[in-house]
Amino acid sequence: MAMPPLPDSRTEPDGSAVVRVLSYNIRSMRDDRAALARVIRACAPDLVLVQEAPRFFRWRKHAAWLAAHTGLVVLTGGATATGPLLLCSLRATVERTEDILLPHTPGLHRRGFATAVVRIGGARVGLLSCHLSLRSDERYAQAGMLLDRVRAMDVPYAIVAGDLNERPGGRSFRLLAGELQDCWTAEPWGDEYTSTPSDPRQRIDAIFTTPGIGILGCGVPRGLPGLSERDLRAATDHLPVLAALRLPAS
């Protein structure tokens, strides 16, 4: 059965804004770049919260390629956040950005957050892209740091998205969902599981919001114009998560 359409982006007369938000682990763009760009374009996002962006040789050039081929602009992140990256459409007016490095555990990949505050229509919202640790204790600590960072952003509303490396039953996922709205749980749309594209059996990627943001639908997109199953499998080793959100006027 065909999915109901996800609402399109728009700004309402009262200043509130409907936005499309995409969360996507792109595995350092090591797979089919053309397919990756087609997937992102088909989702028509206003905001893209990326994980595993290129972070080594010529990483800025790779981020610029992705932005140019998806009709977006680079907001912040990449190597300076150790992988998380933010892209946005021209609907967004940037207020400020900050890339944050988290405490490093020797022998493990260092993690970070890409953060920004933007205005769309009359709405003001904070953004945070994350990729949490593979190790349980470090992941739980990072989830707590994430919530602390959201509180410190001094914004009326915030959107958090990323690769949590954990399923919804895990304690880090539950910590985030206890304070933030888990968009899939609140308003499921599309498919649930994000890993792996060839045989998805687990939801380890998610979009969250602070209370007050309206969730109009969230899930792995299927059947959108220009979006093929072949591209979803070829683009990277995760499936994307797409949400339509209503941001209240600030």
Q: Render pLDDT for 99-158 as a digit per residue (tens, 0 to 9).
A: 999 999 999 999 999 999 999 999 999 999 999 999 999 999 999 999 999 999 999 999
Q: Render pLDDT for 162-172 as a digit per residue (tens, 0 to 9).
A: 999 999 999 99
Evaluate the CA torsion angle 4, 47, 234, 204 in order and state its sign.
negative
Whether the ω angle into residue 196 lies within 30 degrees of 0, i.e. cis, is: yes
User: Which residue, among 109, 118, 106, has the nearest Cα to 84 in the 3D structure?
Assistant: 109
pTM greater than 0.85 (yes/no) = yes
The residue type of 75 is L
CB of 209 closer than 8 Å to CB of 230: no
d(CA 189, CA 30): 29
CB of 157 closer than 8 Å to CB of 247: yes
Note the pLDDT of residue 2: 59
| Cβ-Cβ contacts under 8 Å for 228 (sequence gap 6 or more) | 38
- Three-class SS state of 38: helix
Query: How is the chain split into domains, by residue range?
Result: 15-247
The number of CA neighbours under 13 Å toward the Cβ of 216 is 18
Domain 15-247 has CATH 2.40.10.340: no
